[in-house]
Structure 1
Amino acid sequence: MAQEALFKAFKNLKQFRGECKFSTWITQITMNEARLRLRRLKRAGEESIDCGIDNEEGDYIPVDFADWREIPSETLHRKELREALRGAIFSLKPMYRDVLILRDVQHMSVAETATVLGISEASVKTRLLRARFQVRDVLAPGFDGYWNVSGHGYKRIRPF
């Protein structure tokens, strides 16, 4: 599927208008290819349980009957992780939170972030580093030296 998507992108490179990032364009082609593949598999599954499908090149592709539904415990874990991350980000002072969101969530460049916030690029870099350290310390206090791994869990130790 990935090869087919790259082949289609290369074949239609002249149609890339540059209105979005190239990676976004490739991703959309890949998603369309995946949807097409799923439609073909669904049709093939409706025709016969034992058969696969033959693509344009005559290759046989067997039908995959895997259960791709989410596992409830994993869904809960992801939800708890999202909530912890959201809490860590919103515990930051606004000057750090703004830089972190613009750089790591919105994927703005250092220059764009500096322009939006009206600060220097050096300040953006400094605030981003401090914000990341603060989020790290909220989410994983073991990195700051106050926690020590012992046996089967974590044991609080005194700082030096």
Structure 2
Amino acid sequence: MIEDNNLYSPEFINRLKSGNREAFTQLVEETSSKIYNLALRMLEKEQDAEDVLQETYIKALRNISSFEGRSSVLTWLYRIATNEALMIMRKHKTSGTVVDIDQDDDEDGEGLQIVDWCCLPESEMMSKETQIKLQEAANLLSPLLKAVFLLRDVERLSGQETALILGINEDAVKTRLVRARLKLRERLTGYFSERIKMEVANE
């Protein structure tokens, strides 16, 4: 969950909305790493992530006077960045550079025994190798499923925040998160099965 602090206080928001450059510079300094990391996870390429970062703050500066405060300013920035990233992802998808596994078919998954990630110790789940495998699998999700997964399970945003960012309701977030997790488990079941066998053998 995104936590508010003095940076997002009413006084600070008023300074932003009045066009105070110092306040906007502070906002960029405090939030740019979060925005960039999300964009990089969504898009994989540094140049694309940098483009999203730049466009996010250009649009934020242009529209800050109309910020209504219905969410935190960081959630608002996440929404701008996510929308920019989704547009790029969908553009790549139409050019054939993104594999879409956001389909409600069971052909490939019929009879598949899905390994439960809870069987792995936390240290294994946090290992560099596992994180790489998880990111590779997430890169095969459709743009919207990937966005939901990253916002909820990686950025640890709430369902309400994720819904605000994506412009969908919370039930839709829950449904897509379940689908994303299931597809990731299907993709990673072989890898996790081997890791669990190794853990058992080493006990």
Say whether the fold is shared (TM-score over 0.5): no
- Whose strand fraction is larger, Structure 1's or Structure 2's? 1
Q: TM-score if structure 2 supplies the norm length?
A: 0.32
More contact order relative to length (CA 8 Å, sep ≥ 6): 2
Larger radius of gyration: 1
- Whose helix fraction is larger, Structure 1's or Structure 2's? 2
